[in-house]
């Protein structure tokens, strides 16, 4: 029956009316949009499933053509052909996956539940295909004798490694078992993320009486009122679990009981024994990852993941994390004791709790540095911060940006910019999506709708998107960012620059760097954000246009090391928890709460601090991107602190020679070198951890 159905497809496609959906689906033709961006204004939810199915069909046909080629395997007829295959599937899936993160809805989630197993099975079929693996293997074995250049050899090696790590070298029985594991893991990852989004959107704390607003600055009160109006809630204000809402509430609210409600709702997401509970799903995911790793010859998933990172082994990661953990938790205990003293001096008869930390940290900062975070925000209007990012890119690399209102976007709040290189040539398109919405997952990230590469020698320019969840405008006031939001903006913009500058010839190697290297290009930009010389140019008061006064800047710098015990401890605790999950020998039964409690106890986390992410809402490790890899932000922190020191030591924050070396070795030539080799080419030496420890207030 299946055979008959396949034979009927061509007939159905050409019958009058039956091919209408195919012919009008925007994915099945050239976009005909400015800069070939996705035609968001023409795309309908119902376009995705048929486009993905057709993309899979075409991709299979392209793979079959490689396999059935009667000529001996060569770099061109096997590696290049494989690298360029799957164009339709790549195009539609880029749009689908990005929208599911930034602007999802029930229908997209329904479609994802249909397409996720299809895509997982398709990837398994390709990466375990023995005929394809054989052809790639033959090119791999001869790679040194084929007259290939450095990048070509690396692309061969990386594709061969991809197939081996995906199970192509396993027995047929083990390949089938691994395929089943992959398909189930992909569905679990999808459901875990959806559950966290549902839990986040479900909570609203209604602020009814005037006392509910006690201690809140006018900007926070106004934002709460705007949130209530936007959500259609008949109340003077609400607090949600989006960062721009719950964090300032915990920082300023004098209502300890309400702070507890909000914080508890936040850290219990996915752990409420309801329809969105993530404990059983996560436990199953850990067992499946363990099985997968052992099938592939590793003791655990952490070994599997870290094997191809700069860190190389889980032991190296643990050694690195505990090198930071010990001074961090010691400092956090000092901070706790200082806050407890404030509580007692005010007549409080209670012990500091996690929902108190933000509130008393703000009091302590005010006491020690005469600095309130709300004093800084008027100088970080979101438009000024955006222009500050653009200005920095210009000073370092000569880039310029022009807004393109004619470029279609997927939401009215999204901004589109054309990016120009130093010589005025087109470099790509940048989308900026700044504010939280119910259809957007939490956090901030950068991705692409099209990655940069080359096709038949012609440059394919990237289409990059930055997605954030920053404070919204309120009344007549523009969106005023916190310092943390400001540095996050620079962080994501650093990822965007990496995408614009990556200059590999092939899709597989154009921006291929280890996960514990990829945060270097983003985090280094955060260093410039707080430099007085640069702040004077972008940190301008939203009403007067005057730069931040030197006295306020000095307070800000003096407070730079404030609360670093907490900041580093909550992060490292999450990173160690991630490592513990992915190095443990899991049996048939996993008690998620008990495992997490034991992990946090063993590392010595104090009761007053929760890890930045608890297991049940740890989005980073639900997918494979940062699983056993949440450590990478601090690992890259060592790299970015040392790299920025090169600019500082030169006496010129915008040193053009260093900037060009950074662009060449760190951002552009990813296809040519391993992570540490690239860093040494830029810096002339391996990184020193001292600048990182000093910057973090740990030494």
Q: Which residues are known to be catalytic?
A: 492
Residue pointed to by tokens 């309120």:
474
CA 91 to chain centre: 20
CA 641 to chain centre: 20
Report d(CA 398, CA 404) in Å as an integer.
19
**Number of other CB atoms surrounding residue 284 within 10 Å:** 14
The angle formed by the CA atoms of residues 685, 686 and 691, to the nearest 5 degrees, is 105
Cβ–Cβ < 8 Å for 128, 483:
no
Helix segments in 234-278, DSSP class H: 243-252, 256-267
For 497, half-sphere exposure in the C-beta direction (CA atoms, 13 angstrom radius) is 32
Burial of 454 from C-beta contacts in 10 A (0-12 / 13-18 / 19+) = middle
Pairing outcome for strands 237-239 and 205-207 = antiparallel
Report d(CA 60, CA 220) in Å as an integer.
54
Report d(CA 193, CA 185) in Å as an integer.
13
Specify the 3-state DSSP secondary structure of 474: strand
Strand partners, 401: 419
The angle formed by the CA atoms of residues 445, 447 and 452, to the nearest 5 degrees, is 150
Cβ–Cβ < 8 Å for 158, 512:
yes
Report d(CA 552, CA 370) in Å as an integer.
9
In sequence order, what are the residues at sequence separation of 6 or more whose Cβ sits closer than 8 angstroms to the Cβ of residue 683? 642, 643, 646
Report d(CA 466, CA 218) in Å as an integer.
29
Report d(CA 626, CA 329) in Å as an integer.
24
Strands (E), 45-184: none
Specify the 3-state DSSP secondary structure of 215: coil
Which helix (H) or strand (E) covers residue 450, if one does?
strand 445-450
Strand partners, 465: 431, 447
CA 440 to chain centre: 13
Residue pointed to by tokens 């210009």:
394
Burial of 78 from C-beta contacts in 10 A (0-12 / 13-18 / 19+) = buried
Strand partners, 205: 239
Write down how long the chain is.
Answer: 699
Specify the 3-state DSSP secondary structure of 59: helix
Determine the angle formed by the axes of helices 382-397 and 520-529, rounding to 10 degrees: 110
Residue pointed to by tokens 């580093």:
568
Pairing outcome for strands 463-467 and 445-450 = antiparallel
């Amino acid at each position: 029956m299946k055979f008959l159905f396949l034979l009927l497809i061509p007939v159905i496609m050409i019958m009058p009316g039956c091919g209408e959906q195919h012919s009008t689906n925007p994915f099945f033709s050239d976009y005909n949009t400015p800069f070939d961006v996705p035609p968001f204004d023409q795309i309908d939810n119902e376009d995705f499933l048929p486009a993905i199915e057709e993309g899979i069909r075409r991709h299979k046909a392209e793979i079959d053509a490689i396999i059935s080629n009667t000529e001996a395997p060569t770099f061109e007829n096997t590696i290049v052909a494989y690298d360029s295959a799957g164009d339709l599937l790549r195009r539609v899936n880029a749009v689908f996956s990005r929208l599911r993160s930034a602007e999802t809805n029930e229908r997209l989630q329904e479609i994802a539940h249909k397409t996720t197993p299809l895509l997982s099975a398709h990837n398994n079929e390709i990466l375990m295909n023995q005929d394809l693996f054989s052809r790639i293997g033959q090119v791999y074995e001869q790679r040194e004798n084929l007259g290939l250049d450095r990048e070509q050899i690396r692309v061969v090696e990386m594709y061969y490694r991809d197939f081996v790590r995906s199970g192509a070298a396993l027995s047929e029985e083990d390949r089938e078992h691994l395929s089943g594991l992959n398909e189930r893991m992909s569905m679990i990852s999808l459901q875990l993320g959806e559950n966290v989004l549902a839990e986040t959107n479900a909570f609203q704390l209604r602020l009814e009486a005037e006392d509910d607003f006690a201690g809140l600055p006018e900007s926070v009160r106004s934002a709460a009122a705007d949130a209530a109006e936007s959500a259609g809630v008949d109340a003077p204000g609400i607090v949600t679990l989006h960062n721009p809402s719950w964090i300032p509430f915990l920082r300023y609210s004098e209502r300890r009981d309400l702070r507890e409600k909000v914080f508890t709702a936040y850290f219990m997401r996915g752990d409420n024994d309801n329809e969105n509970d993530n404990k059983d799903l996560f436990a199953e995911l850990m067992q499946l990852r363990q099985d997968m790793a052992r099938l592939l010859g590793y003791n655990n998933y952490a070994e599997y993941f870290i094997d191809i990172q700069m860190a190389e082994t889980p032991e190296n990661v643990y050694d690195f994390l505990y090198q930071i953990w010990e001074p961090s938790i010691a400092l956090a205990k000092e901070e706790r004791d200082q806050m407890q003293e404030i509580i007692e001096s005010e007549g409080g008869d209670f012990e500091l709790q996690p929902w108190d930390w933000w509130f008393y940290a703000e009091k302590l900062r005010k006491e020690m540095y005469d600095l309130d975070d709300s004093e800084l925000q008027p100088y970080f209007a979101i438009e000024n911060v955006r222009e500050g990012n653009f200005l920095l890119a210009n000073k370092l690399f000569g880039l310029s940006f022009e807004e393109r209102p004619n470029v279609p976007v997927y939401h009215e709040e999204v901004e589109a910019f054309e990016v120009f290189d130093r010589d005025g040539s087109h470099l790509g398109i940048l989308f900026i999506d700044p504010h939280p919405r119910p259809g957007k997952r939490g956090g901030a990230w950068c991705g692409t709708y099209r990655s940069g590469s080359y096709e038949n020698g012609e440059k394919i320019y990237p289409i990059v998107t930055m997605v954030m969840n920053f404070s919204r405008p309120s009344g007549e006031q523009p969106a005023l960012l916190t310092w943390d939001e400001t540095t996050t903006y620079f962080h994501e913009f650093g990822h965007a620059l990496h995408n614009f500058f990556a200059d590999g010839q092939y899709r597989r190697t154009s921006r291929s760097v280890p996960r514990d290297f990829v945060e270097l290009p983003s985090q280094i930009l955060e260093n410039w954000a707080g430099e007085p010389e640069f702040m004077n140019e972008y940190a301008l008061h939203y009403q007067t246009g005057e730069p931040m006064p030197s006295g306020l800047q000095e307070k800000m710098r003096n407070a730079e090391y404030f609360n670093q015990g907490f900041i580093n401890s909550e992060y490292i605790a999450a990173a160690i928890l991630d490592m513990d999950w992915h190095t443990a020998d899991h049996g048939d039964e996993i008690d998620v709460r008990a495992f997490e409690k034991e992990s946090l106890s063993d590392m010595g986390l104090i009761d007053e601090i929760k890890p930045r992410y608890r297991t049940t809402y740890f989005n980073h490790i639900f997918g494979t991107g940062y699983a056993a890899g949440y450590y990478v932000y601090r690992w890259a922190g060592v790299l970015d602190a040392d790299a920025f020191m090169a600019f500082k030591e030169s006496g010129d924050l915008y040193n053009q020679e260093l900037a060009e070396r950074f662009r060449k070795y760190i951002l552009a030539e990813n296809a040519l070198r391993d992570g540490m080799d690239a860093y040494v080419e830029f810096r002339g030496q391996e990184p020193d951890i001292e600048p990182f420890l000093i910057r973090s207030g740990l030494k």
